[in-house]
A and B are shown apart, each in its own frame.
Chain A
Amino acid sequence: MMRDKKRYILAASSRPIHEADRKRFEAELYSAMMQQLGEAEYFKANPKVIKFSGKERFVLKVMHERYEQSIVALTFIKTISGKPIGLYTLKSSGTIMAVQK
């Protein structure tokens, strides 16, 4: 079986994500991304937050073939938990090491 190529996106949030809120933020982010991508595309993009770094940054893993759509979806998300938010794509790479540098 061939391994799927992945892409790692370093994203930042306009408001801090506190440690206690991370699980909830993740769930709401997936839900918002599904709304933007549609169910079929969401399944193909398969986004997963794999790491939080500091209060505002996180690394999102997506499938390589839906990487561009995932960036557009992140850009379109303007509210999470009913509060306004801006999500910015700072960097992307094929390896998690490179994206964290």
Chain B
Amino acid sequence: MPFYDLAHQTALHGYLWKQLGFKKIGVAESHVKISLPGSKNIAGSICVGPSGEHLNAAAKQSPRAIIINDSRIDRKLLDTMKAKNVILCIPFDRILGSVGLRRSSAIYMTSRLVQYAIKREIRVAFVSFAGSEEMLCSPVQLIELAKLLGAKEEYARNAVSVTNWELIA
């Protein structure tokens, strides 16, 4: 099963990422555009923002995926995402970049969002979104982190393979 990831260019300056076992690591802003809610040409991009009216409006413009910054469950937004077949993108950089209680809180909030999205049959992608080499993960690690957030083994494998590919293709 080929695995894919999404990261920033700054994480890929070394040679190590080639040994991690991904078929391809997509580069943010190069392979896929990252946009903010309210910006023009949201369609086909990954829209990043906190839950709220702006992100709800952005979801209606058919972005490729949405990253909910604050990991809050916005039922209206998730309904729109399901109707428009928008992927919910879960970046691990916030979980891996924090420590202690902040990390624990981030895991709790993200796991609730992931479990709700899976229950509502919204497609979920799990990516490292790494900004530095240290924040990169191997496919095994992405799958284990997805399982930590409440995804089943089969679902996690499929997300890191098929859904991540749709994200960066």
Contact = CB atoms under 8 A, between A and B. Distances in A.
B162 interface: no
A88 B144 contact: no
Interface stretch (B14-22, B32-40, B41-49, B58-66): B14-22
Contacts of A85: 134
Contacts of B99: 78
Given A14-B16, A68-B147, A86-B133, A78 B96 contact: yes
Contacts of A46: none
Chain B interface, DSSP helix/strand/loop, else mixed: helix
Contact of A89 (B96, B103, B133, B140): B140
B140 A12 contact: no
A56 B21 CA distance: 16
B144 A72 contact: yes
Interface residues of A, number: 18
A25 B145 CA distance: 24
A89 B128 CA distance: 14
Interface string B130-168: 001111111011001101100000000000000000000
B133 to A, nearest CB: 5
Interface of B: 14, 16, 19-21, 96-97, 99, 103, 132-138, 140-141, 144-145, 147-148
Interface of A: 12, 14, 56, 68, 71-72, 74-76, 78, 84-86, 88-92
